[in-house]
Structures are given as structure tokens and as C-alpha cells.
Amino acid sequence: MNSPAHDIQLDSQGKLRHFLSVETLNREILTQILDTAENFAGINDKAIKKVPLLRGKTVANLFFENSTRTRTTFELAAKRLSADVLNVSMSTSSTKKGETLLDTLRNLEAMQCDMFVVRHQDSGAAHFIAQHVAPHINVINAGDGRHAHPTQAMLDMFTIRHYKGDFSKLRVAVVGDIAHSRVARSQLHALRTLGTKEIRVAGPKTLIPSELDHLGVKVYTDFDSALDGVDVVIMLRLQTERMKGALLPSADEYYARYGLTTERLKLAAPDAIVMHPGPTNRGIEIEGLVADGPQSVILQQVTFGIAVRMAVMSLAISSTEISQAQGKFA
Amino acid sequence: MNSPAHDIQLDSQGKLRHFLSVETLNREILTQILDTAENFAGINDKAIKKVPLLRGKTVANLFFENSTRTRTTFELAAKRLSADVLNVSMSTSSTKKGETLLDTLRNLEAMQCDMFVVRHQDSGAAHFIAQHVAPHINVINAGDGRHAHPTQAMLDMFTIRHYKGDFSKLRVAVVGDIAHSRVARSQLHALRTLGTKEIRVAGPKTLIPSELDHLGVKVYTDFDSALDGVDVVIMLRLQTERMKGALLPSADEYYARYGLTTERLKLAAPDAIVMHPGPTNRGIEIEGLVADGPQSVILQQVTFGIAVRMAVMSLAISSTEISQAQGKFA
Amino acid sequence: MNSPAHDIQLDSQGKLRHFLSVETLNREILTQILDTAENFAGINDKAIKKVPLLRGKTVANLFFENSTRTRTTFELAAKRLSADVLNVSMSTSSTKKGETLLDTLRNLEAMQCDMFVVRHQDSGAAHFIAQHVAPHINVINAGDGRHAHPTQAMLDMFTIRHYKGDFSKLRVAVVGDIAHSRVARSQLHALRTLGTKEIRVAGPKTLIPSELDHLGVKVYTDFDSALDGVDVVIMLRLQTERMKGALLPSADEYYARYGLTTERLKLAAPDAIVMHPGPTNRGIEIEGLVADGPQSVILQQVTFGIAVRMAVMSLAISSTEISQAQGKFA
């Protein structure tokens, strides 16, 4: 939507300042994130999994929507960068006392927090916050409504590159509830930007949005055809709440048509990898044997997720430090 | 009330051991707190906002009453002093299991905590705790009932001194619900002790306590007269719960009579500063344009609050360390 | 139950890898824990109560059952070893979203946590988790159902050894609700393994399990006889919930028969110590004067508890590090 020059995510030098959405970021930036994460992934083998890059910095986790798993990964990433972490549960904070969101943000800024990690149920919340924060604050989107979940998308890209290499040679299928998934939207953008040879989506018609064409994506309602020869299968988590409405058949019927079984996986390339953002619904979108099987890299995604979050945090902080240092001599 | 010699807040050398109330502290101690905070305020400009003064110390936040904002400022202050922080929500702790408060305190002492930061709904709770703790523990009052909120008062004094200098030349007005505000009580004492030239309070008769005379305070029910020529306007937060009783007219009427508007602010000195402990009720006690305007220092108060809390914590800890070191040679 | 060679708690070199139950551990291991704790107890006298043994390690507190007191002691122990601590309240975590317990564990492993501290309402939960974790994870049982509370038992042993020395010369009485106490079970095993001269239990018939004979324990229903000449009295906390059923008489009657009063304590050896895991029910199982009296070491137990937990954590981590280092050269 925005031209890169006006992308709120980038500073005047074109460096990553906020990380809100992969949509407007170019291949160079995405590759820089992946390369930086590669360094942090190496830390995991060491006895002391800590680097001092964010020492003396304060990272505030602003979770307007509860997500223990996501909060935990960001908290670990920040602590391994030696930051101080402040968990602010926004539902119990003074927003209740009639304070507006912006007042709360101004206060956290005044307390000299350096970074806000934002999780919100509304699309665009992280962008809104990034538009209004003080110049010394970096904002990281940890999932906003249906809109974006960009660190999840980047850890998926990291996992794909780690196991399968060059994107320009890969066929990737994203399967399930594309319409309501913040993860899917971010993934499709990242896959396209990184030059993926072929991107397929598969799912029930009711769960596939119509405006996918401009992303260069092939749409399948038949799962078997979508799987044919792919190198990467990304299964999405089915929000079982959807089942209550008219959008979806029963869980059994869904599994029969779109569940990734051992049998079905044989349609993909023999060395295809299976991914899932977790937590998995076994017997609904994926067979337990596949989730735990030799082609599954689901747990490796979690491990790489820490490294990718460390990468995004340290890139954003370093852009701010450079611009502040320059400001002093301006 | 107490003579300084018997003040539980001071050790035998007259150094600050607990910080419970500004009432009985003399100008020398209050000035020492402000001077020490000045050093910590400088940290904010540095990339690494951390000093090792409380390294290896454990600060326990004992919050009997929920206050995310206050807890956060103390947590940040402690972490920037390199302390380990333990958040103990006292409502969910084992006090429920029939354990008495003193039992809980004894246990935290036995776990070798070094400092208790206490927030309680009852007046005098922090004093009670300070009277009963072991010699190695420092107690900081983070607000007790209607009684005191001394770190808030000191950050207000820091802000006034920072922007307006010498107290002996200043006219200061404190406006709103004086009767029910723990902040106001502490402020009035601190302003008097620091030698403020003229202290005024303004508000509806029902919200102004009768026993203010001994504090050398001028009482106004007419806001305009109170504002005339003042250098500092401290607005209090109106607890909207008060509106339900007979104490107060409607919010609109309150705003008409005691709301700080752009128009009204012109009655004060041209370079007067506007303060508020936050969170603000815009349109009730203050106009949004004033809260965000050029004379407002509301957010700077928050920033200085971290430095003041760091000062109080480090002064209290160092008095204990000195007395313990002396004890070893006694 | 298990032969030492197959004890899941020990690695192939016979070193402590998990700490789940004292039942199958031999005297050598228990003594090693006590000796290691002795070193950490010395830290308490220092101004900086911190050692870097777990720096860069992540300890996850997995509390399926709320226990502020126990969680706090483990959190402090981990922080004083310089670990990063992650508090995961398992009731609010994604286990709600239909994720199985094992999925949650796999995820925490993938996030490169190093240690799980587990508190669970079901007996055997910590063992179950230890059986299923990845090789790099250590599991510490922080209490599971009625089964075991081994760190509490070891801090009791530490306290006894500290004050009374050689177990082979001691008469120890454990008094109260033996049947439902996870603490008692662990204590009796530890006392026997450490070679205690005489172990007595006392309590109402309904609260004493029948299968105590194989532990070499003398059972008393008359408290006075049980106290005769003992060197150590360990009082258990009475779960007042028991009173509702048919198991127990009224609180008054219980106190009359099994409450440790000043008068009754005279039956024990003149230098006997009084212990209690806390929190105490004053006037139910113990008189306030006794709990606070000169023979009580109840608060010292809490202090030693931190050192014992530091010992168990550091021993477990070091066994893993040695085996991982060896793995690299294998």
C-alpha cells in the first residue's frame, strides 16, 4: 500500500525501525532478518544462551489479548538479548480507570521503555500504536486481529530456508482457514517477496478470501491436487469456533477433506517438510502421526522462532540507536 | 508527630531506613532524596539505563491493592538498580490459607528479601509493616489508604524544583479532592517542609478537610482566585466514585467549577507549570488541551518518578548496609 | 520401587538428573545435596546473594496448582543462581486450547528451556513429565498430589542436621495428618535413608496410613508418649478441609489431643527443636507461643529452603552439562 519510502516500519535510512507487517518490506530487509536470525540460532548450542545486545533496555509486552505461548517466546527472546522485560496485561491495567490507550502509551514511553511488543485482537492496532509512539520507541507486532503475525511468518520463512534452501526452486502449499488466519496473510506476502517459485493455497471455498489473485497464488479446493509435488506443506490451525457457524462442515468431514494424513502426505515431494504454527488440533487438521513424524519440523519452528524474534528486536533497536547517535551531531 | 529522633523511618545515625511518609522527614532528608534522584535522572540519556547499586538484592513488591501503574514504576526502578524483583500479589498469596500478614512477612524475610514495596488500601499499613520487620529489611510505602503516597509527592517536588527552582519563591496550588487523596496529603507536607512561599488548596467544601490550618495552607473554594498568579498548578485525580454520594455535583458541574481549562490557566503566572499524578480524567478535572499543552509537565513527572524511586531505594539500602557493616565491628 | 540403576532421577553415571522423590535416592546422594546446600547457605551473609552457576539458563516454573509460597522460593533460588525464570501458569496456558500437556512440554523444550519446576495436584505428575522430557531438560518436583514434596523434605533434613548433627543419634517425631501429607511421606523416607535412630509418627488413627511399617516407623495415637524424649518435633499443617468429613473431630478437640503446646513440649528433650512446613494454623496444630518460641526453627527452615533448592537445581544442571559435554566426544 505504502511506497517503501513512506513505510512507517522503516527509518529515513531505510532500516527496520518497527516490525508490523511483512507486506511492505522488500526482499533485502526480509533476507537481512533471516541472516541475523541465523547468528542467533547458533547461540542455542552454547551453554550460556545470552548476548548483551539489549542490556539496559526495557521491553514492554503489551498484550491486549491473552496468548501465553506468544508472550513466552518474546519474553525469552528479550531475556536472551539481556533486556529487562515488563509484562503489562493491558486488560487489567489502568485503561480500565478511563485512561485512554494513548495515555497508557505515553506513560510507558515516559518510563523510558525502549520497545513495545503488541498483541491485539483488532487489525491495525500495532500500526496505530507505531504511528503514535515517541521517536525512541520500537514497536513489534505480535499478532493483530486477522491482519498480520509477521514474526510467525518470518520464522516460517527461516524454517523453509533452513531445510529447503533457495525459495526460487520451491513449491509451497498453505492449507486451511486462509480467510481468518493472521498467519496465512503474512506468510503469503513473505513467500512472494522472497521469490517462491509456486505458492498454492487450499481449503474450503468459504475459508478462502477472494482477493488472493494479486498475490500470484494458486487456489485449490481439492487438497490432493494442491499437495501434488510440493516441497513444503504449511498447515494452519483451525479455529474450532468456526464450526459453530455455517462456514464449516463437521470436524470429521473437515478432517476427511483437508486433514493432512500419512497417506495424503505421500502426494507431496518425498522430502517435503510439514509445518504448523501450533498448537495443533490432532485429528482435525493434521494426523498425530504426521505432526510427530520424520517430515514434521513443527518443533524446530518453535526453536527458530526465538532466534527470529531476537533478530527483529536487535535490528529495530540498532536502527534507533544509530539515528539517535546521529541526532546528537545534527 | 514523632520527634525526628524516634522516627521509625530513620536509623540511629538519622539516615533514611524506611520511606513511609514525608510528614516527619526534615528538609535535609527531602533534599538528599531530590539530589540523589538528580544523578539517576541522568541515566535516562544513556543507552544502558542500568546501575549495579542493588545487584544481588531482592525487592519484593507487596501489592495488597492492584495498581499496575505504580507497581510498574517500582519494578522498573528496582531493575535499573540491577535488583531481582519479586511480584507478590498479596490477595492471591497464602494469606488466604489463614496465614496472618505477619507470618507472610516473616517468611519473605526468611527468604532473605531485602526490601518490601508496600501498597495497601488501609491507612497506616506500611508503618505497621515497618514496625514489625527484621532489621535487614527496608520498607517503601507505595500508597496506603488515604494516608500517604510519599514517592509520588517526592517526584512532584523533583518536578517543581527541576522546572521552577527555589521553593521559597514559589506559589503552588493543589486542586481537587484534597480530602480523599493520599497524594495531596503527602504533597502539602513536602511543600511546607521544603519552604514553599505560598501553598494554596482549592476544591468543593465537601472535599477539603478542616484540619489543614496547621499546615499553613490557604483554602479556596473559588478556583479562579486560587489560580491567580501561581507558579505551579497541581491537579488531583477525581475519584468518580465520589460522584455517586452526596459529596459532589455532576461531572459537568465539577468541570465548570474546578476543571483546569485553557482559559482558566491564563490566570496563573505565564510560565506556570501544570502537574497531575495521572491517569487524567479529561473533561472532568482537566481539559485535554491543557493536559497535552506546552505548560503541562505530566509526562515528565512519570519520567522523574523512576529516578526518585531509584533514589529512595538506594538511600534506604545503603543505610542498612552501613549499619550492618558497623554491627560486625561492634 | 526401582533399583537405583534404573532410577529415572539418576543419569548413567549415577548423578542426580531430576529431583522427583527422595524414595529411591541413597544416602550418598541425599548427603551430597545437603553438603552442596551448605555452600549456598553461606551466600546469605554476603551483600550480593548471587552466583553465576545458572547464567544463561532458563528455568520454567510450571505450576498446575497455585502455590505462591513454593513458587516464590523456587523463583528466588533460580534468580540467585543467575538463571532466567519463566513463570508459566499452566491453568491459563494454551492447554485450554485443546493442546495436550505433552505438546506444551515439547514447545517449552523447543524454546530451549533448561529446567522444569513442576507443581501438580496429581500424584506422579512430575515423574510422568520426567519420563517424557528431552535429554537436555531437568525436572524438579515442587509437590505432586499426596505423593511427594522432596525439596521440602530435604530442607527439613538440612535444618535437622544443622541444629542437631548426626542422624544416627536422633529421635524424631512427625505429628499430624500423615495420610494426606505429601511432606510427611517424603520426610519419613529421607529420615530413614539418612539413618535416623528412631522415627515416630503421631496422629489420629484416621490420619495415619497403614502401610508405614516397612519404613521402620513407630506409630503413636497418644501424642504425649510420642513426644517423650525426642530431639526433633516436626508438626504437619492440618488441612482444615479434613474437618468437614468424618475423619476428624472439631478443631478444639484436635488441638487438645494433637496441638503442640508449651506444656506438652516439655515432654521432649530440653534442647529439642520444633519444625513446621508452614503456613502454621495457630491454635489448631500448634500454639502461637511455641511457633514463635526459642525452640522453634520454623523460619530458619524457610531460609535453608532457598539454599536447598539452589543445591538441587545446580546439581541437576551440572549432571546434564557433563553428559552433554561427553556426548560431543562420543
As beta bridge partners, residue C116 has C60, C139
Residues of A in contact with C99 (CB under 8 A): 278-280
Task: Decide: helix, strand or coil at residue B115.
Answer: strand
Q: Which residue of A has its CA nearest to C53?
A: A48
Determine the pLDDT at residue C44.
Answer: 66
A299 touches chain C (CB under 8 A): yes
Determine the pLDDT at residue B241.
Answer: 67
Determine the pLDDT at residue B91.
Answer: 66
Question: Nearest CA of chain B to the CA of C321: how many Å?
Answer: 25
Residues of C in contact with B55 (CB under 8 A): 48, 50
B75 touches chain A (CB under 8 A): yes
**C109 touches A298 (CB < 8 A):** no
Residue type, A133: V
Instruction: Determine which of B44, B49, B285, B292 to mutate to test the interface with A (most A C-beta atoms within 10 Å).
Output: B49
The position carrying cell 501503574 is B69
Rounded to whole angstroms, the Cα distance separating A144 from A141 reads: 7
Regions of chain A short of the pLDDT cut 50: 1-5, 94-98, 329-330
B297 touches chain A (CB under 8 A): no
Q: Do C278 and B107 touch (CB under 8 A)?
A: yes
| Cα A174 off chain centre by | 14
* Cα within 13 Å of Cα(B313), Cβ side: 35
What structural domains does chain C harbor?
A: 4-149+303-329 (3.40.50.1370), 150-297 (3.40.50.1370)
A48 touches chain C (CB under 8 A): yes
Residue type, B148: A
Q: Do A98 and B44 touch (CB under 8 A)?
A: no
**C114 touches C317 (CB < 8 A):** yes
Q: Do C76 and B58 touch (CB under 8 A)?
A: yes
Instruction: Determine which of A40, A61, A68 to mutate to test the interface with C (most C C-beta atoms within 10 Å).
Output: A68
Q: What is the DSSP letter of A187?
A: H
**Beta sheet of C138-144, edge-to-edge order:** C84-89, C58-63, C115-120, C138-144
What digits encode the pLDDT tens for the residues C108-141?
999 999 999 999 988 899 999 999 999 999 999 9
B122-B127-B132-B134 Cα dihedral, nearest 10 degrees: 120
B88 touches chain C (CB under 8 A): yes
Residues of A in contact with C55 (CB under 8 A): 48, 50
Q: Which of B90, B150, B86, B142 is nearest to B114 (CA)?
A: B86
B244-B249-B251-B257 Cα dihedral, nearest 10 degrees: -150
Regions of chain C short of the pLDDT cut 70: 1-6, 44-45, 91-99, 241-247, 322, 324-330
Q: Which residue of A has its CA nearest to B299?
A: A110
Rounded to whole angstroms, the Cα distance separating A142 from A131 reads: 16
Q: Which residue of A has its CA nearest to C55?
A: A48
Kindly calculate the radius of gyration of chain B based on its CA atoms and give it in whole angstroms.
Answer: 20
- Which residue in the set A56, A86, A111 is minimally distant from B50, CB to CB? A56
B293 touches chain A (CB under 8 A): no
Percent of chain B clearing pLDDT 90 (strictly above): 69
Q: Which three cell numbers stand for residue A97?
A: 480507570
Rounded to whole angstroms, the Cα distance separating A242 from B69 reads: 37
Instruction: Determine which of B79, B94, B133 to mutate to test the interface with C (most C C-beta atoms within 10 Å).
Output: B94
Q: Do C111 and A76 touch (CB under 8 A)?
A: yes
Question: Nearest CA of chain C to the CA of A291: how many Å?
Answer: 11
pLDDT band at B190 (very low <50, low <70, confident <90, very high): very high
Determine the pLDDT at residue B44.
Answer: 66
Q: What is the DSSP letter of A222?
A: -
Q: How many CB atoms lie within 10 A of CB B145?
A: 16
**A144 touches A123 (CB < 8 A):** yes
**C196 touches C168 (CB < 8 A):** yes
Q: Which of B201, B143, B211 is nearest to B177 (CA)?
A: B201
**For the stretch B259-268, what's the b/e string if a residue is b when 16 or more beta carbons lie within 10 angstroms of its beta carbon?**
bbeeebbebb
**C236 touches C181 (CB < 8 A):** yes
Q: Which chains touch B (3 or more CB pairs under 8 A)?
A: A, C
- Which residue in the set C56, C109, C110 is minimally distant from A48, CB to CB? C56
Question: Nearest CA of chain B to the CA of C161: how many Å?
Answer: 19
C214 touches chain A (CB under 8 A): no
For the residues B304-313, what does the mean pLDDT come to? 97
Q: Do A306 and C112 touch (CB under 8 A)?
A: yes
Report which of residues A212 and B99 the model is more confident about.
A212
Q: Do B76 and A86 touch (CB under 8 A)?
A: yes
A84 touches chain B (CB under 8 A): yes
Question: Nearest CA of chain B to the CA of A277: how many Å?
Answer: 32
C330 touches chain A (CB under 8 A): no
Instruction: Determine which of C57, C81, C103 to mutate to test the interface with A (most A C-beta atoms within 10 Å).
Output: C103
Rounded to whole angstroms, the Cα distance separating C192 from C190 reads: 5
- Which residue in the set A66, A76, A301 is minimally distant from C58, CB to CB? A76
Determine the pLDDT at residue C98.
Answer: 47
pLDDT(B240) > 80: no
Question: Nearest CA of chain A to the CA of B149: how many Å?
Answer: 18
Residues of A in contact with B306 (CB under 8 A): 111-112
Q: Do B86 and C76 touch (CB under 8 A)?
A: yes
Q: What is the DSSP letter of A238?
A: P
Q: Which three cell numbers stand for residue A292?
A: 510427530
Q: Which chains touch A (3 or more CB pairs under 8 A)?
A: B, C
Q: Which three cell numbers stand for residue A175?
A: 492449507
A169 touches chain C (CB under 8 A): no
- Which residue in the set B86, B89, B99 is minimally distant from C279, CB to CB? B99
Rounded to whole angstroms, the Cα distance separating A20 from A22 reads: 7
Residues of B in contact with C240 (CB under 8 A): 98
Determine the pLDDT at residue C242.
Answer: 63
| Cα C227 off chain centre by | 23
Task: Determine phi and psi for B288, rounding to 5 degrees.
Answer: -55, -40
Q: Do C299 and B106 touch (CB under 8 A)?
A: yes
Q: Do C88 and A68 touch (CB under 8 A)?
A: yes
Determine the pLDDT at residue B327.
Answer: 59
Q: Which residue stretches of B170-273 are H helix? A: 182-193, 223-227, 251-258, 262-265
Q: Which chains touch C (3 or more CB pairs under 8 A)?
A: A, B
Instruction: Determine which of B112, B321, B323, B324 to mutate to test the interface with C (most C C-beta atoms within 10 Å).
Output: B112
Q: Do A107 and B281 touch (CB under 8 A)?
A: no
The position carrying cell 469456533 is A241
pLDDT(B96) > 80: no
Q: Which three cell numbers stand for residue B151?
A: 514517592
B3 touches chain C (CB under 8 A): no
Q: Which of A45, A17, A7, A4 is nearest to A322 (CA)?
A: A17
Q: Which residue of C has its CA nearest to A79?
A: C84
Task: Decide: helix, strand or coil at residue B232.
Answer: strand
**A280 touches C103 (CB < 8 A):** yes
Q: Which residue of C has its CA nearest to A44?
A: C112
**How much is the ipTM here?**
0.86
C300 touches chain B (CB under 8 A): yes
- Which residue in the set C48, C69, C302 is minimally distant from B55, CB to CB? C48
Q: Is omega for the bond preceding A279 within 30 degrees of 0, making it cis?
A: yes
B299-B309-B147-B8 Cα dihedral, nearest 10 degrees: -160
The position carrying cell 514523632 is B2
Determine the pLDDT at residue A161.
Answer: 98
Q: Do A92 and B68 touch (CB under 8 A)?
A: yes
Q: Do A92 and B47 touch (CB under 8 A)?
A: no
Q: Which of B105, C62, C3 is nearest to C70 (CA)?
A: C62
Determine the pLDDT at residue C246.
Answer: 66
